[in-house]
Structure 1
Amino acid sequence: MAVVVPARDEEQLLPACLDAVARAQQALRSAHPAVLTRTFVVLDACQDDTAGVVAARPEVAALPSRAGNVGAARALGVEAAARWAGGHAGRLWVAGTDADSVVPEHWLVAQVDMAALGREVVIGTVVPDPADLPADLMEAWHAAHDPGDGHPHVHGANLGFSLDAYVRVGGYAPLPVHEDVELVTAMQEAGLDWVATGAIPVTTSGRRSARAPLGFATYLDGLGA
């Protein structure tokens, strides 16, 4: 089980992300002691001290990148995870989130359990941090989003898949935005066994300063318009 986190100038929010991932990994070790887990943070053209945040956590692998591209960053993380898995890469599951997001404690356990049922792709939901948005914008968010099982949404901050499924469709494209949607669409069109679940919601930043052009912050601006 590998956790891949792209990060660009996230020294403020990354600690909470990694704390949450660590709690999820501890829950995974308790439920499935035989499953090895490792976190990979891709330092994507960072100009702040995001690297220092990762360096303070020896259990987390840092992957420098100058791409300045979230699709390329996620791909780099998956490639590193495959190398880490080595001869066990055929059994590798990759869980992806974002550096400004906080996963629930059962996030990894639930994905392992769904994989054991034959799922090849797990598509989760996100919700903005209520502390970051005014009440009317949170209301607009909830009105526009189905939080339950079978939802139609795709978020790179809450996405899991087997390495085999990822390789089968060619992996993440080096896109500056919507790389997650492109990957999931390819997986669905390839006939892979996927599930859209509301059982593992991830809380993500509701900030309005974008890290990716036309990304989540831009979407929130559109809701508020």
Structure 2
Amino acid sequence: MITAVHVVIPARDEEQLLPRCLISVERARLALRAVRPDLLVDVTVVLDSCRDRSALVVETARVHSTAVDFGMVGPTRDAGVRWALASSAMNGIAPQDLWIACTDADTVVPTHWLTGQVELAVDHDAVVGTVEPFGLTDTEVLTKWRARHHLIEGHPHVHGANLGLRASTYLDVGGFRPLATDEDVDLVRRIRAHTTRWVATDAVRVASSARRLSRCRGGFADFMTTLEDEVG
């Protein structure tokens, strides 16, 4: 049974978008605590090679942070999960009772994000959620994006910005690998090979920035840029 939830958020020079993300995560945390006051719910931001004021944003939000210098999202996410595992162990929480909820610093999660994941954790060890862009004003680009994305139950997509999993399952499959891109796809592929206790759902959809400036090559921003270039 899940007794603790830890939200892990990688951030690289995200002082502009991180505040909105943390506000949404806090709302989701409070919503979960309202229905499950027995749960320990923590948030950790992993600051990767940040040269802006992202650390100040985290301090103001009063959430945990750890600093790394990888310049890659794979090991940065892994560092956050390892931090969560270590802090949970200090509270006597076993990996099978710890739920890891992953999102990104440029993402806004719905209020029911954590509540929905914990409910699904009763029968699943991994929850693969959907993502939609926010801040996209070009209707033609949005139409192209919608044609390529299926916001439905059983969808085929994988997004590190909306991924939840049991910590014991994370350890069983070896965690996020030190990859610059597709670390989320790689992890979910190994989870699916390891267990049938996973679900691809649209029930906990999040919204990620449609900005053109990418923090990692091959990420969501690069995909949005590709769509805009096709239209242009």
Q: Aligned ranges for residues 67-78 of structure 1 at < 5 Å? A: 67-78=70-81
Residue pair 1:121, 1:192 contacting (<8 A) in 2 also: no
Measured after TM superposition, the shift of residue 169 of structure 1 is 0.4
Q: Cα offset for 1:115?
A: 0.7
Once the two structures are TM-superposed, the CA of residue 89 in structure 1 deviates from its matched residue by 2.8
Rounded Cα–Cα distance in structure 1 between residues aligned with 2:16 and 2:176? 27
Equivalent residue in structure 1 for 2:124, among 116, 119, 123: 119
Matches within 5 A, 1:44-193: 44-58=48-62, 60-86=63-89, 87-90=92-95, 91-116=97-122, 118-129=123-134, 131-193=135-197
Shift of 1:205: 0.2
Q: Identity, % of aligned pairs?
A: 45
Asked if structure 2 preserves the Cα contact closer than 8 Å seen for 1:137 and 1:223, the reply is yes
Number of residue pairs aligned between Structure 1 and Structure 2: 222
Tell me the amino acid that sits aligned with residue 105 of structure 2. A
Contact 1:124-1:155 at 8 Å conserved across structures? yes
RMSD: 0.9
Partner SS for 1:122: strand
Structure 2's unaligned 5+ residue stretches are none
Report the Cα distance in structure 2 between the residues aligned to 1:159 and 1:61, rounded to whole angstroms: 20
How much has 1:56 moved relative to structure 2? 1.2
Asked if the contact 1:165–1:192 (Cα under 8 Å) also holds between the matched residues in 2, the reply is no
Kindly provide the amino acid, as one letter, of the partner of residue 103 in structure 1.
V
TM-score normalised by structure 1 residue count: 0.97
SS of the equivalent of 1:46 reads coil
Cα distance per residue 1:124-177 (max 9 Å; x no partner): 000000x23411111111111000100000000000000011000000001111
Contact 2:98 2:166 in 1 (8 A): yes
1:192, CA displacement in angstroms?
Answer: 4.0
Q: CA deviation at 1:216?
A: 1.2
Q: Measure, in 1, the Cα distance between the counterparts of 2:9 and 2:22.
A: 9
For the residues of structure 1 that align with 2:199 and 2:226, how far apart are their CA atoms? 28
